[in-house]
Structure 1
Amino acid sequence: MANRDRRDLLRDGAIGVLAEAGGRGLTHRAVDAAAEVPDGTTKNYFPSRDALLRAVAERIVELYQAAARRAAAGATPTSREALIAMLRGLLEDVAGPGRPRLQAYLELQAEATRRPWLAAVLDPIAAADLPGFAHAQRAAGLPVTPQRAATVTLALHAAIPHLLVGGPETLAATGLDDLDGFVRGVLATVYPEPEVR
């Protein structure tokens, strides 16, 4: 196995460990087990806990950027309805295939509150969402301003932990038990549709 492939295997294993066991469970030994490699392999590649945290954060950023490139290569929403479908799909991914990556990302964000260098590694994710979502809103024909685009982006970000936890009362209280309705509500609040007379 090539060195790069082994590093990716270990970093992906670390994502799984963070998603399942949280920050306290992220150990070299746990990553060895998750990646199904001999004991000591992770420590050989990432000698300290900080090195391991940096490696998994960089992998999360790489995966995010790859997903953003795939999304950009897809159809740009050219209507409000298409934008609603796109945003609903992103939120549906939170509890689906994207769940482990997002759980790991939130664990890393918690670690980053105590490690400014880790916050700097993760910053490109949220920073890239702002222009990306602004572009999607503009393409859908909405009257975008930086504040409006940021409000939509932050509403989506705020939904993620609640979708991961899945508390039924919270989901119902926030409207997240109906993702289509939630997205429509956010857009209606930020971009009210003109009343038909």
Structure 2
Amino acid sequence: MGGMARNEERRTALADAGIRVLAEEGARGLTHRAVDAAAGTPRGTASNYFPTRDDLISALVGRIGERLTPEPEAVSSRSARPPDRELFADYLRDVVRRLGIDPHVSLALFELRLEAGRRPAVAKALGAWRQGAFREDVAFNEDSGLPGGQTEIALFHYAIDGLMLDHLTAPIDTGLSVDAAIDEFVDRILR
């Protein structure tokens, strides 16, 4: 049993190393050897856990999903509040906060999205995860009685993607803080 827990820890450490490699080197730099080097594990370790590049990509998609999942306490502490635009804006702020905690995670995700444009296997793995997350967001909004339906949630996804891409790469100076931008998104999309 202890061995299995250790294996799971090793698998997670390798996936986290893969996320760093993706963020720092891009999709072309993502090799099993580069993951082993970043994780400080003996050569061949990443290949044992993720035999193919597609297995490695799937593991990275899963790990990014885990790292972006909100803490249950954060969700339950908000659930007592009235489901209004202000609460909606706070949920969005939390999404942006989680995307910004470790920029490697968001940059790796953008790298995977670019790679999805070139490789159908990556598009399939990433697309399934993104579609599931989108459906969960829509269901959460409906179940919570928050304003906005599927179209509004889609528009918020597009808006936050653009905000994060700008923020993490070559930001333009618009005079708008991230909080001000979120307030404007909420005001305009949830008119």
TM-score in terms of structure 1 length: 0.77
Alpha-carbon contact 1:17-1:30 (below 8 Å) kept: yes
Amino acid at match of 1:86: Y
Listed as ranges, the matches of 1:166-181 within 5 Å are 166-169=170-173, 172=174, 177-181=176-180
Amino acid at match of 2:64: I
Equivalent position to 1:80, from 73, 85, 90: 85
Residue equivalent to 1:189: 188
> Does 2:131 align with 1:132?
no
Name the CA distance, whole Å, in 1 between partners of 2:172 and 2:137: 30
1:138 deviation in Å? 7.6
User: Aligned with 1:168: secondary structure?
Assistant: coil
> Does 2:149 align with 1:145?
yes
Alpha-carbon contact 2:15-2:60 (below 8 Å) kept: yes
1:154 deviation in Å? 2.1
Unaligned 5+ residue runs, structure 1? Answer: 193-197
Equivalent position to 1:162, from 152, 162, 166: 166
Alpha-carbon contact 2:141-2:149 (below 8 Å) kept: no
Amino acid at match of 2:88: L
Residue equivalent to 1:38: 42
Residue equivalent to 2:31: 27
Per the alignment, do residues 93 and 57 of structure 1 end up closer, same or farther by CA in structure 2, a change over 3 Å counting? closer
1:112 deviation in Å? 1.4
1:86 deviation in Å? 2.6
Residue equivalent to 2:127: 123
Point out 4+ residue stretches in structure 1 off by more than 6 angstroms. Answer: none
Alpha-carbon contact 2:21-2:30 (below 8 Å) kept: yes
1:69 deviation in Å? 5.3
Name the CA distance, whole Å, in 1 between partners of 2:34 and 2:162: 30
Amino acid at match of 1:29: R
Alpha-carbon contact 2:166-2:172 (below 8 Å) kept: no
- CA displacement, residues 144-174 of structure 1 (integer Å, 9 cap, x when unaligned): 33322322232122222111114233xx1xx
TM-score in terms of structure 2 length: 0.79
Unaligned 5+ residue runs, structure 2? Answer: none
Aligned residues: 184
Name the CA distance, whole Å, in 1 between partners of 2:126 and 2:111: 11
Name the CA distance, whole Å, in 1 between partners of 2:23 and 2:48: 23
State the identity %: 32
Residue equivalent to 1:195: none
